[in-house]
Amino acid sequence: MIEVTNLHKRFGAVTAVEDVSFRAEDGVVTGLLGPNGAGKTTTLRMLYTLIRPDRGSAKVDGLEVAEQPLEVRRSIGVLPDARGLYPRLTAHEHIHYAGELHGLSGATLDKRIGELVELLDMKEIEHRRTEGFSQGERMKVALARALVHGPRNVLLDEPTNGLDVMSTRAVRTLIRRLKAQGHCVVFSSHVMQEVAALCDRIVVVAKGRVVADGTPDELRTRTGKDSLEEAFVTVIGTDQGLMQ
């Protein structure tokens, strides 16, 4: 479970995240939706311990990220905004390496890699070096790497960005499966259709602030709009940057 309370982050004169609070429960897909520059990546980066909040609290399974970063890292799987693969390593080697960093080895690790290769339909690319991989192939490797240790909490930064229809479907299926298994899944997106298709709970952010938070039904009721799309536009005040 993830709990964010009054989180703040500034970069010089830019306030990237201002007073952001939300909860992401286990077995629930929580979407961070907002236009470019809203503060989604910065919020996720604080959650996965890459940068420290200036103020406020972010807890993963009750552990404060700024105080117990190592423990937090064990219980999260992260798909960062920069997918960063090593061109000389194969897809298999990437997942294997990530597994070893999380203390997995031998038959347990081999079995886990086999499951992920199956799940993400990576058989054909498993033993190829990642140099020259397409966006979708890179995404699959990065996702498998994020999930190798079976983390309870999964943080995905724009997981379907740049993917074709088939790869998007594969990622959506994976997210639904993680939810069914009881994981806490948080993903960010600037595409409202993406969030509408997958999320049980939606946290809408704009200019570093949470402007709405609730289930799709709650958002519709609160704004008096029938469609989720109109509800989003109403809370953000514009549809700029939210359509694909």
* Using rule CB under 6 A, residue 11 touches ligand ATP: yes
* Using rule CB under 6 A, residue 41 touches ligand ATP: yes
Q: Which stretch binds ligand ATP (CB under 6 A): 30-38, 99-107, 144-152, 173-181?
A: 30-38
Q: How far is the CB of 48 from ligand ATP (least distance, A)?
A: 13
Q: Given the complex with ligand ATP, which of 16 and 78 has the nearer CB atom? A: 16
Q: Given the complex with ligand ATP, which of 11 and 86 has the nearer CB atom? A: 11
Give the C-alpha distances (Å, rounded to integers) separating 91 from 110, 118, 141, 155, 197. Answer: 13, 13, 6, 21, 29
Q: Given the complex with ligand ATP, which of 30 and 125 has the nearer CB atom? A: 30
* Using rule CB under 6 A, residue 190 touches ligand ATP: yes
Q: Given the complex with ligand ATP, which of 116 and 185 has the nearer CB atom? A: 185
Q: Of residues 31, 34, 77, 151, which one binds ligand ATP by CB under 6 A? A: 34
Number of residues that bind ligand ATP (CB under 6 A): 12
Rg (the chain; Cα; Å): 18
Q: How far is the CB of 224 from ligand ATP (least distance, A)?
A: 27
Tokens of 94: 């990437």
Q: Given the complex with ligand ATP, which of 74 and 209 has the nearer CB atom? A: 209
Q: How far is the CB of 2 from ligand ATP (least distance, A)?
A: 17
List CB contacts of 48: < 8 A, sequence separation 6 or more: 65, 72, 73, 76, 78, 80, 155
Q: Which stretch binds ligand ATP (CB under 6 A): 11-19, 134-142, 179-187, 191-199?
A: 11-19
Q: Given the complex with ligand ATP, which of 128 and 209 has the nearer CB atom? A: 209
**Within 195-224, which residues bind ligand ATP (CB under 6 A)?**
none
* Using rule CB under 6 A, residue 14 touches ligand ATP: yes
* Using rule CB under 6 A, residue 159 touches ligand ATP: no
Q: CA angle 144-111-143, nearest 5°?
A: 5
Query: Contact residues for ligand ATP (CB under 6 A)?
Result: 11, 14, 16, 34, 36-42, 190
